[in-house]
């Protein structure tokens, strides 16, 4: 074989590899995986979180937003609760964690994420926002919030 034929064979081989990669990418993009997002917004709780004694005695109003990314392919086809991440259970986890006193919103948000990942192995990403409404910080404000994600 001469150098010209070797180059031609190399180029053909490279084109075949690129076409195979494109086929795999396009084929898998549309098959068997529907990434979905479940959002539970403005869950309201009266809880006892805060660094000051008064906050842990009197309590305050809190809002929690939750965003969970997971594969929803099976549920989108079957219409069965057992094929999805049950957001009633997710709400109950948030409610349970909000009922436990903490000094910091960061701690509450971290506990919520920990409990969600323990209960739902199918989560690919989760984001939680915990907001304390009308915090006593020496000025007028609607809320202070902490957002954690993993």
Active site residues: 132
Q: How many CA atoms lie within 13 A of 15 on its CB side?
A: 6
Q: What is the rounded CA–CA span in Å between residue 84 and residue 98?
A: 24
3-state class (DSSP) for residue 20: helix
Q: How many CA atoms lie within 13 A of 135 on its CB side?
A: 17
3-state class (DSSP) for residue 53: helix
Q: Give me the sign of the Cα torsion angle 39, 103, 44, 96.
A: positive
- Give residue for tokens 């259970």: 89
CB of 93 closer than 8 Å to CB of 112: yes
């Amino acid at each position: 074989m001469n150098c010209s034929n070797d180059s031609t064979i190399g180029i053909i081989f490279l084109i075949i590899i690129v076409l195979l990669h494109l086929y795999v990418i396009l084929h898998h993009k549309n098959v068997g995986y529907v990434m979905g997002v479940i959002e539970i917004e403005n869950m309201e709780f009266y809880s006892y979180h805060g660094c000051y004694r008064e906050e842990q005695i009197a309590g305050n109003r809190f809002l929690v937003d939750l965003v969970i990314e997971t594969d929803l392919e099976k549920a989108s086809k079957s219409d069965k609760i057992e094929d999805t991440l049950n957001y009633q259970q997710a709400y109950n986890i948030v409610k349970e964690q909000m009922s436990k006193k903490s000094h910091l919103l960061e701690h509450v948000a971290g506990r919520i994420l920990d409990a969600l990942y323990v209960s739902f192995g199918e989560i690919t990403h989760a984001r939680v926002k915990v907001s304390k409404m009308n915090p006593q910080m020496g000025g007028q404000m609607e809320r202070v919030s902490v957002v954690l994600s993993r």
